[in-house]
Amino acid sequence: MKVLVHPTYFPSISHYAAMVQAEQVVFEMEDNFQKQTNRNRMYIYSPNGIQMLNIPIKHNKVTHQKYKDVKIESEFNWQKQHFKSLEAAYRASPFFEYFEDDITPIFQKKHTYLLDLNVEIFELLNQCLGVTISPEKTFEYFHEVNNCIDFRWLANGKKDTTQCEPYTQVFGEKHGFMNNLSVLDLLFNEGRYALDYLKNQQL
């Protein structure tokens, strides 16, 4: 199975499951940026329930801006805020401290382009999961594709209705199971078992 996906900000569980289960992953590099998608946001399980973490981007006067040309707004200290939110959400999880040193640098390095950040995050998550995925990249945009499964819609959380198998979450007793959050939620709660979970997840 060959899949076409968007690189996103700490992808959802369903998004990562599609990549882990694929024989070949292809990154869409030539599309236009779409607001209110997981390209620049992720969802985590905070003490108060689901929390969205959003990367601010520089607004451009161009109506249709290429995703690869989108720049991160550096005036806001969003990285510090996001990491503090992750700490509040997952400090008590079984594997946060195990992965903390691996993940911290991504919140300290300054990136100019959103797409570059998301590709680097993908490589980091592969290391944490213990999996090797070497994606191909597109050089031209096609609205419809015939040679692979089009999973680009997974970048739009509103269109993704995947129901994930429940696993233990930090605040599960308080708020119940929260479905299909960022793969970080799975990683911090399940550790290396996360990879087996992703491989067995129904898409």
pLDDT digits (tens, 9 = 90+) for 80-114: 999 999 999 999 999 999 999 999 999 999 999 99
Token pair for residue 116? 């570059």
Q: With bands split at pLDDT 50, 70 and 90, how would you rate the model's confidence at 63?
A: confident
Over residues 152-183, the pLDDT tens digits come to: 999 998 889 999 999 999 999 999 999 999 99
CA distance 8 to 28: 11
Sign of the alpha-carbon dihedral angle for 54, 60, 64, 67 = negative
CA distance 2 to 150: 9
CA distance 66 to 131: 29
- Tell me the percentage of the chain whose pLDDT exceeds 70: 100
Q: Share the mean pLDDT of the chain.
A: 95
Tell how strand 24-27 and strand 136-137 pair up: parallel
> At residue 61, does pLDDT exceed 80?
no
CA distance 153 to 150: 8
